Structure 1
């Protein structure tokens, strides 16, 4: 017997405009007024910016102003570079590149919603018919489950930072969601069109961040198809796989044929992909268990419950398909040689879809427990964000203000009335949402996750309004890059050993012409280091006489220093 019994009143769907507004509020918070931040965000922007300001060779061989970066794939950077070319004159290059980030996120949200809708309207997913009628229609039931899946997806803590970064990670998670949607369509009718669509999506996923993930997903879907039909999945073999290879290999073919910069990035790209395939490691399992719990909250409890609740139904497709995705992606996370959140990120879309099918089977007590946990934790987090901002602006509470300024020495608080009003309105909306949930106790399915999603969005919005100047001060290289530019004569070549994110930031903010290869003879040399002795050792090993002309650091980090040397022989 199916574990679901619901009246039609439990499947009232959210208005489409409300979901779109919620998605836009989520993704636009933190994109406007933010500098490229260090690590993946600045590095990804650097690749996009280099492509947008370069020629055809720059598009085939990804790099950050001369530093080769072929490791992941070019698709996300192609889209970002196109956005810079289209909107850079109006929005500025940094914000224009983030238009690609908005597109990536909306694509993933669309795929999560529609993939869940397709699975939710299938006959085996429908609730039991009630004795006197009144059960929901399949389309209404599917729409309500899709609303719940999208809310769970938005509430995943691990998605927050990565979905707002200009990196391949932001596109990869959306392409995994799109692959799940295409797979749901394929298993619906197994037509040639849906098979070709699935192959094309997997090929684009290979262009986004390597071929390992799409290959694992294809193998999982082939095994699922074989288990369900007891026949060889000929369409997957004869249609989707060749299309995936053609689309995914198009960049490799073009790069090998045209040899940008008299070289091909494909060898390094293949090595980066093969590096993801190792023997399972105990450290990887510990990282998955310790970090996956918070990274995929609140999706994993509902997903685990969905598998348990539907365990007696011979694994219907709405459980089996996202579960296969989760199994294959978890296996890859265990094979990954380094502990990295990027290995966990592709798990979020299938977990959100699977979690949606746990909502109709959860007891009221369990739903209330999750709600109260969300209210207490997220309201407390929002309160601390407000309290920290008040301390930063007024100096009270004194100890909290002292700690905030200790983390960011030299920071001068900024007051902005528009951002304050946005934060106040968001907080008021949260209070009204909590009151609505507690006072009315609605019976709709998505009530179990609306507080989790709303609270996460509130905290992120508060951080990206009240604390955005502090975040720029802590994580941007804009100030130190402009300081260096004042000491650098125009059009002078710079060799450097700084990180990719630092290189991108210095190139963008100072317009410094970095050398394509660090071994090229340049008049200037930029070195990182915590002490002058380390830098001097590197200078002496170069065999060239250099003179220090500038030394600087970010005000928020006195240990991370940069030194600019000029050749004097």
Structure 2
């Protein structure tokens, strides 16, 4: 016997979110962060450095090197995408860092679209439908599915951990988009053929080539089981999809083996409690506010989860979320692993909407309203203090945390920030009105607030964030010591990010240190000095400067000039 569904939804509650409003929200979330900023420390600028090396044909495509160092992540696809973008984009049209961001912005758009359509097809499942009323008036399946999908997209945008990591040109954004494509493919299999097949191949192979073959294999195996157990699907349709899923999973595993992408990445937590505490904090804020709603879904739909019918609309996002959380607890970096589970977590959160009580929805609204309004007010006050010096205390704090920073004024940034703030006020006014029918209403303020905060940071605070998070100021200080034409520069102990920053921001020709080198300048990381005598004869070098990063007391570069013989 099929357990009763907990969703009780009327037709008036599934009125769709206006498409223009949803599109505007997505644009406001995607574009800021990809436009107008420098590559940031450290994964962002490191990935960009490898892409630049490949585009300029200075390293092999199958074994890229940056300063003689191989990538920390084995995935090759992200570097290929960036390098191809640089090569095909005219230099007069876009700068290299902007050309790289175009395909990665498209990947974020694909993530949002795949999440929406995946949840839409899950909500069309028989077990996901709301209770049928005795005299009619319940939500019809297409409108209900559209409303649930709108809620899932709002929940994804509202997740606090998505903002920064989804705007970096790293392998993790490629993994995120490929995971979302795989999620969509399995969700849409009972309803479509061509689009899920394409998404399945691209998602599985892309996830493997982006450096996550184990994750691709786990998601593929779990998806095979879910397709086999899917209720309401004919055997004629399930068998081809089962074979296709199994075949592409095997192919992806073989590709990873052929390219030597398999690595043991499981690490244990430290013996003390600090690591577990940091993981707990990460789990708490990274997926907020989707994870409380996801837990509510697990509770209200528990009978369907444990029933023999195997309801895909619950088990599929639950499996994707479980794999991501397991990777978060056992691998590093933890936040990057948790990022891949956000689309599935948003899907679980969306199925909580038909079961939320009005008091819970009101609590979400009030908390979100206070949190994002106070945050936006703080961003504006600090920006005004940077521009005018009033209030004095925020201006003094900025000067202390970012010594040497000179505030910049941009009329365009101000106009965009004012428009975003006005949009937030309109959204709050709409939510406070009597229009309480749509089931996605409880996630409008969280998504709008997250987009508002991101837009304000990427407009009003962008010069400050560039100064604090990029290597530009430090590299310019190094250039001032080296002079106009330093020739080749030897390096000792530099990280991949430092090498990429010196090559791009400083346009320097770097060579790894050696006793036989003829370069007149040497740049070393302070923690790596003095270097081994096999690499550098310290007696032959005269220290010229110690160049710190203005916002990091532990990141210093030493600049040496070859001593006169």
Q: Same fold (TM over 0.5)?
A: yes
Query: Which one of the candidate residues 124, 133, 138 is aligned to 1:135?
Result: 138
Per-residue CA deviations over 1:120-160 (Å, capped at 9, x if unaligned) read 11222111122222222211111111111011101100001
Which residue of structure 1 aligns with residue 492 of structure 2? 496
Q: Distance in 1 between matches of 2:319 and 2:425?
A: 39
> Does 1:310 pair with 2:301?
yes
Per-residue CA deviations over 1:38-75 (Å, capped at 9, x if unaligned) read 111111111111111116x5321133354211623011
Q: Distance in 2 between matches of 1:200 and 1:432?
A: 40
Q: Distance in 2 between matches of 1:329 and 1:463?
A: 28
> Does 1:291 pair with 2:282?
yes
Cα 1:285–1:120 change in 2 (3 A) is farther
Contact 1:370 1:448 in 2 (8 A): yes
Which residue of structure 2 aligns with residue 447 of structure 1? 441
Structure 1 unaligned regions, length at least 5: 256-265
Cα 1:242–1:453 change in 2 (3 A) is same
Cα 1:279–1:470 change in 2 (3 A) is closer
Contact 2:227 2:242 in 1 (8 A): no
Which residue of structure 1 aligns with residue 50 of structure 2? 47
Query: Which one of the candidate residues 265, 272, 277 is aligned to 1:275?
Result: 265
Contact 1:146 1:356 in 2 (8 A): yes
Q: 492-501 vs 276-285, which deviates more?
A: 276-285
Which residue of structure 2 aligns with residue 60 of structure 1? 62
Contact 2:37 2:466 in 1 (8 A): yes
SS of 2:60's equivalent?
A: helix
Q: 277-286 vs 554-563, which deviates more?
A: 277-286
> Does 1:374 pair with 2:368?
yes
Q: Distance in 1 between matches of 2:274 and 2:190?
A: 36
Contact 1:550 1:565 in 2 (8 A): yes
Cα 1:543–1:160 change in 2 (3 A) is closer
Which residue of structure 2 aligns with residue 360 of structure 1? 354
Which residue of structure 2 aligns with residue 6 of structure 1? 9
Q: 15-24 vs 417-426, which deviates more?
A: 15-24
Per-residue CA deviations over 1:7-66 (Å, capped at 9, x if unaligned) read 1111111233432322121111122221111111111111111111116x5321133354
Cα 1:409–1:483 change in 2 (3 A) is closer
Contact 2:514 2:535 in 1 (8 A): no
Offset, 1:465: 0.7
Offset, 1:553: 2.8
SS of 2:510's equivalent?
A: coil
Q: Distance in 1 between matches of 2:516 and 2:434?
A: 72
Cα 1:507–1:351 change in 2 (3 A) is same
Contact 1:549 1:564 in 2 (8 A): yes
Q: Distance in 1 between matches of 2:515 and 2:202?
A: 41
Q: Distance in 2 between matches of 1:53 and 1:244?
A: 34
Q: Distance in 2 between matches of 1:401 and 1:549?
A: 33
Which residue of structure 2 aligns with residue 554 of structure 1? 549
> Does 1:206 pair with 2:196?
no
Which residue of structure 2 aligns with residue 261 of structure 1? none
Which residue of structure 1 aligns with residue 110 of structure 2? 107
Which residue of structure 1 aligns with residue 79 of structure 2? 77
Offset, 1:539: 6.4
SS of 1:379's equivalent?
A: helix
TM-score normalized by the length of structure 2:
0.89
Contact 1:224 1:324 in 2 (8 A): no
Offset, 1:106: 0.4
Per-residue CA deviations over 1:215-269 (Å, capped at 9, x if unaligned) read 22123223434555899x976775334434435654764x6xxxxxxxxxx3xx4
Contact 2:513 2:535 in 1 (8 A): no
Query: Which one of the candidate residues 217, 223, 247 is aligned to 1:221?
Result: 223
Which residue of structure 2 aligns with residue 513 of structure 1? 509
> Does 1:331 pair with 2:321?
no
Structure 2 unaligned regions, length at least 5: none
SS of 2:303's equivalent?
A: coil
> Does 1:397 pair with 2:377?
no
SS of 1:105's equivalent?
A: helix
Q: Distance in 2 between matches of 1:321 and 1:542?
A: 54
SS of 2:210's equivalent?
A: helix
> Does 1:458 pair with 2:438?
no
Contact 2:107 2:173 in 1 (8 A): yes
Query: Which one of the candidate residues 523, 526, 538 is aligned to 1:526?
Result: 523
TM-score normalized by the length of structure 1:
0.88
Which residue of structure 2 aligns with residue 97 of structure 1? 100
Contact 1:195 1:240 in 2 (8 A): no
Offset, 1:458: 0.6
Higher helix share: 1
Contact 1:186 1:198 in 2 (8 A): no
Cα 1:493–1:473 change in 2 (3 A) is closer
SS of 1:213's equivalent?
A: helix
Cα 1:149–1:340 change in 2 (3 A) is same
RMSD (Å) for aligned C-alpha atoms: 2.8
Per-residue CA deviations over 1:361-382 (Å, capped at 9, x if unaligned) read 1111101100110001111111
Q: Distance in 1 between matches of 2:245 and 2:194?
A: 9
Cα 1:204–1:277 change in 2 (3 A) is farther
SS of 1:331's equivalent?
A: helix
Contact 1:220 1:328 in 2 (8 A): no
Cα 1:140–1:124 change in 2 (3 A) is same
Contact 1:11 1:140 in 2 (8 A): yes
SS of 1:327's equivalent?
A: helix
Q: Distance in 1 between matches of 2:17 and 2:443?
A: 13
Q: Distance in 2 between matches of 1:555 and 1:290?
A: 28
SS of 1:59's equivalent?
A: coil
Q: Distance in 2 between matches of 1:521 and 1:495?
A: 13
> Does 1:479 pair with 2:457?
no
Offset, 1:289: 2.6
Offset, 1:464: 0.9
Q: 70-79 vs 114-123, which deviates more?
A: 70-79
Contact 1:4 1:360 in 2 (8 A): yes
How many residues are matched? 545
Cα 1:72–1:185 change in 2 (3 A) is same
